[in-house]
Structure 1
């Protein structure tokens, strides 16, 4: 059964590259969610005046990979404890967020955050927001499939490749063949 999950884990190039490699995921689109401005351009979003986060819309087959599995990958491949930043990238558009599309997704996300907190998986508190999904606006074409098209660039090697390697190392059962 086809479902959608919407995640913001900092730079959407990173999050896109990870989820493109997950078994059961048929499509990943980079874009923007969580803000007030309709159809924002990247240049608007980075001003931090639109309220949007860099987001990926993940279309997946829930009979192959569950939303719970996607949450596991999401929390393992970005830092959910830094408010409005990922590494050197700073700003509200780099925040950690889950935009749930159903009450079940909300419940799973909140429960998983509680489990991670109780197990003290992270040294600092998780700041990932869990917010009702309202809109997704696709990013401009030059952001789409970024890592696959530009993998040799220094940014891709230094920032994205380690996240993909983490997926390949710790979630082998979820990786596409």
Structure 2
């Protein structure tokens, strides 16, 4: 089986990870940090907004089942790509909407996805396309966070849960069984 990688940042990585782990063709999703100059940042450092890193997810996928373009369309549908450095109550560059293409083909697909998805929004999409950069996995307790903490974490109950409910209705035919 062929595997490919997509790295996307759409605000809090708990939300983004929770969406993508449920899709057919997604082999693995890892929360982490990308896009800043320092090595091995911690969650606390990234949350300060001073490292330049974004909270992001690294997605391993089978392109025979789900394409990079489909991943990007779902990404644009499941967060607000029109708010600069903000998703809901989360504010700062660490919560920016960004794509980190792994090669020139993905970079072209990222540009096409922004153009294609602009019609779904009444404000301009501000998602940045950034150079691929070193990937730093988030601490172990952030991995599959919603799955293990969703029922007892207020943020997950108020933000991630409703986002997943909407996502599951819209993409029911694309979910893992």
What is the aligned partner in structure 1 of residue 143 from structure 2? Answer: 144
What is the aligned partner in structure 1 of residue 123 from structure 2? Answer: 124
TM-score between both structures, scaled by the size of structure 2: 0.96
Deviates more, 1:151-160 or 1:74-83: 151-160
Indicate conservation of the 8 Å contact 2:33/2:138, yes or no: yes
Instruction: Kindly provide the CA deviation profile for residues 111-147 of structure 1, in whole angstroms up to 9, marking residues without a partner as x.
Output: 1111222x2x112110000112121100111111100
List gaps (5 residues or longer) in structure 1. none
* Aligned mates of 2:48, 2:155 — CA distance in 1: 21
Q: Number of aligned residue pairs: give it.
A: 175
TM-score between both structures, scaled by the size of structure 1: 0.96
What is the aligned partner in structure 1 of residue 166 from structure 2? Answer: 166
Q: After TM superposition, list the pairs within 5 Å mapping 1:11-50 onto structure 2.
A: 11-50=12-51
**Structure 1 consecutive aligned stretches of length 4 or more whose deviation exceeds 6 Å:** none
* Aligned mates of 2:81, 2:104 — CA distance in 1: 21
Taking only aligned residues, the RMSD between alpha carbons, in angstroms, comes to 0.9
What is the aligned partner in structure 1 of residue 72 from structure 2? Answer: 71
